[in-house]
Amino acid sequence: DTGVSQDPRHKITKRGQNVTFRCDPISEHNRLYWYRQTLGQGPEFLTYFQNEAQLEKSRLLSDRFSAERPKGSFSTLEIQRTEQGDSAMYLCASSPGGELGMNTEAFFGQGTRLTVV
Amino acid sequence: DQQVKQNSPSLSVQEGRISILNCDYTNSMFDYFLWYKKYPAEGPTFLISISSIKDKNEDGRFTVFLNKSAKHLSLHIVPSQPGDSAVYFCAASDRRRLSFGAGTTVTVRA
């Protein structure tokens, strides 16, 4: 397994368009996370899944954002009616266990850089 | 509300010397702490971690110290190498998710 994979790596879209990103976690990892990172800031939590169940969503995740993990494997993050403020790096991570702790660290993908023009 | 803070946005150090990165947190529910390293155009990669029941964890050139009463942790890199030049993020876990600091950019000078 080559790690967490995200597609696309870069996306440029016009304001108002919808975009969808895909994340393939490390095989057998039960947890999957989405984070967003803007310039000069650390990653900000958006949401996470335990298998196919979405267990928590941040207040940052407005109604225009939706995430799915239909079969407990890959996940998609959709942003509807994109705004310029949505421009950021969107990071996906996965971890093997039920809780984040020793030996169950989160492993990140390379991210999808979104630019809204 | 920023629950994890890295107050030094940048650090410049001579090759071979020690790099010390600091991190403070406010949430007492955090019980596991990690450092991630990030190169440009890549995702963060896990570096080292420490449980709240310990005060030190060492892995090769990297040592993390935790002062639970002060809600402070630090990462020591000895000796610093040019390949260590990157952004370092401190992260804290409440077992559900990670909260990150804003990062410290380390530049190792030859």
Chain A contact set for B86 (CB, 8 A): none
> Which residue of chain B has the CA closest to A37?
B102
Say if residue A97's pLDDT is above 80.
no
Alpha-carbon distances of A12 from A5, A33, B8, rounded to whole Å: 19, 23, 32
Asked if A100's CB is within 8 angstroms of B44's CB, the reply is: no
The pLDDT score that the predictor gives to residue A103 is 64
Contact between A42 and B42 using a beta-carbon 8 Å cutoff = no
Q: Within an 8 Å CB–CB cutoff, is residue A74 touching chain B? A: no
Whether residue A116 has pLDDT greater than 70? yes
Q: To 5 degrees, how large is the angle CA A99–CA A103–CA A104? A: 35
Span A45-69, average pLDDT? 92
pLDDT at A72 (0 to 100): 86
What is the 3-class SS of B47-105, one letter each residue? EEEEECCCCEEEECCEEEEEECCCCEEEEEECCCCHHHCEEEEEEEECCCCEEECCCEE
* Residue A60: closest CA among A40, A77, A72: A77
Judged by CB atoms closer than 8 Å, whether chains meet at B43 and A4 is answered as yes
Type of residue numbered B26 = T
- Compute the average pLDDT of residues A59-69: 91
- A99 and B34 within 8 Å at the Cβ level: the answer is no
